[in-house]
């Protein structure tokens, strides 16, 4: 008798999900945000289809405001996996110069929410893998692994299909598309343990190093390039920091840390008492129901 560990079972489940999508969807795509969850998802995809490369492209819905280190890793990982990398920029956001400094929530809405809808429509993808986990946030806990979106990309939490055993119903009506979350049952600790066990490369920003920072509205921001408008008298300080999540650099708060290795990062995570998404401004809008509302409007 061979007892499978929780990581082995989670891996097997995620691989099974990905293969079901490839077998039943017409044109799948994997959303790739370059974060640690995306890194795990991509790694699982490579395992699922080995020795073939994963039979779908990667799609990065870019805001042009990600950390430089993310762009570097993104291009390299896609090449290593032998997959096409599609990068989408919302042309309207580009034209209007939407940015996180001047436009607040509109920045996320235009670049990410609208950008994603545009990209899915443009290429006609009918199934998109996303790296969201159920432990991240309350409304996600109730979302199915195969989550349907209307033609306008809306989510109706009251009208989800029952999902039994590991039988996924991938049939959809005209115009509908599916978001598939193969990491649904993973927790943040599982992700970290798997990254260590499988030696998965992640963006170095997750590990502590001296980096130029400024403190604003209670968030510790990294000055990643010269587009960062410094206020009069503001001077970037070198601090030893790392990131628990990675998004647009002007919206992502760092934590002061000396954890420079993976075990140290995990150690710090287990001993800290603030949850992962706390560094992100996005969840705080509209109280506890913020994310649910965003998802109904088409946020991934």
Partner 1 sequence: MNEHSASDPVYKTDSLIAEDIDAYLELHQNKGLLRFITCGSVDDGKSTLIGRLLYDSKMIFEDQLATLEADSKRVGTQGQEIDFALLVDGLAAEREQGITIDVAYRFFATEKRKFIVADTPGHEQYTRNMVTGASTADLAVILVDARKGVLTQTKRHSYLAHLIGIRHIVLAVNKMDLVDYDRETFENIVEEYAAFAREIGIEEFTAIPISGFKGDNITQAPSENTSWYEGPSLIQHLETVEIANTAAQARTFRMPVQWVNRPNLDFRGFSGLIASGEIAPGKPVRIVPSGKTSTIKSVVTMNGDLERAVAGQSVTLTLEDEVDCSRGDVIASADDPPQVADQFEASIVWMSDEALIPGRAYWLKLATQTVSATVAEPKYEVNINTMEHLAAKTLELNSIGVAEVTTDRAIVFEPYEDSKALGGFILVDKITHATVGAGMINFSLRRAQNVHWQALEITREDHANLKNQKPAVLWFTGLSGSGKSTIANLVEKKLNLMNRHTFLLDGDNVRHGLNKDLGFTEADRIENIRRVGEVSKLMADAGLIVITAFISPFRAEREMVRAMLPEGEFIEVHIDTPLEVAEARDVKGLYKKARQGELKNFTGIDSPYEEPEKPEIRIDTTAMTPQEAADLVVDKLLGSG
Least distance from partner 1 to the Cβ atom of residue 190, Å: 8
CB 246 within 8 A of CB 205: yes
Least distance from partner 1 to the Cβ atom of residue 49, Å: 7
Q: How far apart are CA 212 and CA 126, in angstroms?
A: 42
Cβ nearer to partner 1, comparing 5 with 68: 5
CB 177 within 8 A of CB 153: yes
CA distances from 218 to 155, 201, 280 (A): 33, 30, 12
Least distance from partner 1 to the Cβ atom of residue 111, Å: 26
Least distance from partner 1 to the Cβ atom of residue 158, Å: 8
Q: How far apart are CA 300 and CA 294, in angstroms?
A: 8
User: Could you tell me how far CA 272 lies from the centroid of its own chain?
Assistant: 22
The strand pairing partners of 64, in sequence order, are none
CB 177 within 8 A of CB 127: yes
Cβ nearer to partner 1, comparing 53 with 236: 53
Task: Report which secondary-structure segment, H or E, holds 293.
Answer: helix 290-296
Cβ nearer to partner 1, comparing 154 with 263: 263
Q: How far apart are CA 31 and CA 85, in angstroms?
A: 10
- Interacting residue ranges for partner 1, rule: CB under 8 A: 1-13, 15-16, 19-20, 22-23, 46-53, 134-135, 138-139, 141-142, 157-158, 160-167, 169, 171-173, 184-185, 187, 189-190, 193, 196-197, 263-264, 266-267, 270-275, 278, 288-289, 292-293
Least distance from partner 1 to the Cβ atom of residue 39, Å: 15
Cβ nearer to partner 1, comparing 103 with 277: 277
Cβ nearer to partner 1, comparing 90 with 184: 184
Least distance from partner 1 to the Cβ atom of residue 17, Å: 10
CB 59 within 8 A of CB 32: yes
Cβ nearer to partner 1, comparing 165 with 233: 165
Least distance from partner 1 to the Cβ atom of residue 195, Å: 11
Our CA angle for 238, 243, 248, nearest 5°, is: 95
Least distance from partner 1 to the Cβ atom of residue 61, Å: 26
Q: How far apart are CA 294 and CA 24, in angstroms?
A: 28
Of 172, 206, 189, nearest to 34 by C-alpha is 206
Cβ nearer to partner 1, comparing 2 with 152: 2
CA distances from 294 to 74, 105, 109 (A): 26, 11, 9
Cβ nearer to partner 1, comparing 16 with 122: 16
């Amino acid at each position: 008798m061979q007892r499978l560990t929780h990581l082995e079972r989670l891996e097997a489940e995620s691989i099974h999900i990905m293969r079901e999508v490839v077998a039943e969807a017409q044109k799948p795509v994997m959303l790739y945000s370059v974060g640690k969850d995306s890194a795990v998802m991509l790694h699982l995809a490579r395992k699922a289809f080995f020795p073939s490369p994963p039979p779908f492209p990667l799609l990065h819905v870019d805001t042009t405001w990600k950390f430089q280190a993310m762009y570097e890793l993104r291009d390299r990982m896609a090449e290593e996996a032998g997959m096409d990398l599609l990068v989408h920029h919302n042309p309207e956001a580009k034209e209007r110069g939407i940015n996180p400094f001047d436009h607040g929530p509109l920045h996320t809405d235009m670049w990410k929410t609208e950008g994603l809808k545009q990209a899915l429509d443009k290429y006609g993808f009918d199934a998109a893998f996303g790296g969201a986990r159920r432990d991240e946030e309350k409304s996600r806990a109730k979302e199915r692994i195969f989550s349907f979106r209307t033609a306008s990309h809306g989510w109706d939490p009251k009208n989800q299909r029952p999902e039994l055993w590991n039988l996924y119903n991938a049939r959809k009506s005209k115009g509908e598309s599916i978001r598939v979350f193969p990491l649904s049952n993973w927790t943040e600790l599982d992700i970290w343990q798997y990254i260590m066990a499988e030696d998965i490369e992640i963006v170095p920003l997750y590990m502590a190093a001296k980096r130029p920072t400024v403190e604003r509205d209670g968030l510790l921001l990294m000055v990643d390039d010269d587009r960062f408008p410094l206020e009069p008298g503001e001077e970037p300080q070198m601090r030893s920091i790392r990131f628990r999540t990675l998004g647009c650099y002007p919206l992502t708060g760092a934590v002061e840390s000396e954890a420079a290795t993976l075990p140290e990062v995990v150690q710090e995570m287990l001993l800290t008492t603030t949850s992962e998404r706390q560094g992100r401004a996005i969840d705080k809008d509209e109280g506890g129901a913020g994310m649910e509302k965003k998802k109904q409007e088409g946020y991934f």
